[in-house]
Amino acid sequence: MSQTTLIIADNQPLTAFGLKAWAEQSELFGSVVELLEKRTLMEYLQEMPDDNVLLIIDIEPFDFLGKDEIVLFFEEHKLLRKLFIGDHFNQEQLSFIAEEIRANVILKSIDLEELGIAVNFTLKGRYYIQSELLSLLMRSNTTPTKSSFDDVHLTPTERDIATFIANGKTTKEVALIRNLSYHTVVTHRKNIFRKLGVCSIHELTIYAIKSGLIDPTEYYI
């Protein structure tokens, strides 16, 4: 059994109960903890390493003092694997979570099969945004479309690496697949981001979907 601890940070009893019941049956976690307020969440995280935790959080009920405090909180817990959950998200909220916090996002209406996929992706450090939210995020994003993508000069190697990254491969995995050194892939990645004018893997993935580089019907961010 995994020693990962699942923290459910949601003060809606029904949601917390359902997530806990699902998690205890899934055998993915060594323990499951419910926390109902920001103070107890902060205190708990001080007692254990971030890389041993998966946090499922509904940010709305917690008394964070605006976006800056949320950003600061997650900057202090960089290794924390996090999955945001909510009844609904508007474009601004979704862009903030996906691009500034770089967290995965699902709705509370998600079915159990997709919940399992989302949790597994999060545990593996891969990006995931529920399919119903993907179109909303893409509409709020201003990255170029396919016509302008074709005008950007990526070398064949850069194009392949961009595809691997957008499909969730880590830098180390890309290096193994392409038989390149880790530092060479890092250099290619920097050049790709610069040429495409993107600042994060989320932005690169959206760019790749809009340009036709990857198929959104077969891909979960």
End-to-end Cα, the chain, rounded Å: 26
What is the DSSP secondary structure assignment for residue 76, as one 8-state letter? Answer: T
pLDDT for 151: 61
- Ranges under pLDDT 70 in the chain: 1-2, 138-151, 212, 214-221
Q: How far is the C-alpha of 28 from the C-alpha of 4, rounded, in Å?
A: 8
pLDDT for 66: 86
Handedness of CA 181, 98, 80, 16 (dihedral sign): negative
Global pTM reads: 0.73
Q: How far is the C-alpha of 151 from the C-alpha of 197, rounded, in Å?
A: 13
Q: How far is the C-alpha of 220 from the C-alpha of 133, rounded, in Å?
A: 11
Q: How far is the C-alpha of 78 from the C-alpha of 216, rounded, in Å?
A: 28
Angle of CA points 190, 192, 196, to nearest 5°:
120
User: Where do the domains of the chain lie, and which CATH numbers do they carry?
Assistant: 5-139 (3.40.50.2300), 141-218 (3.40.50.2300)
214 to each of 119, 124, 167, 220, how far by Cα in Å? Answer: 22, 20, 8, 11
pLDDT for 206: 76
pLDDT for 65: 84
- DSSP secondary structure string, 91-107? HHHHHIIIIII--EEEE
Q: How far is the C-alpha of 71 from the C-alpha of 165, rounded, in Å?
A: 24
Q: How far is the C-alpha of 158 from the C-alpha of 127, rounded, in Å?
A: 21
Six-digit token string for 54: 């998966």
pLDDT for 205: 79
The amino acid that residue 2 corresponds to is: S
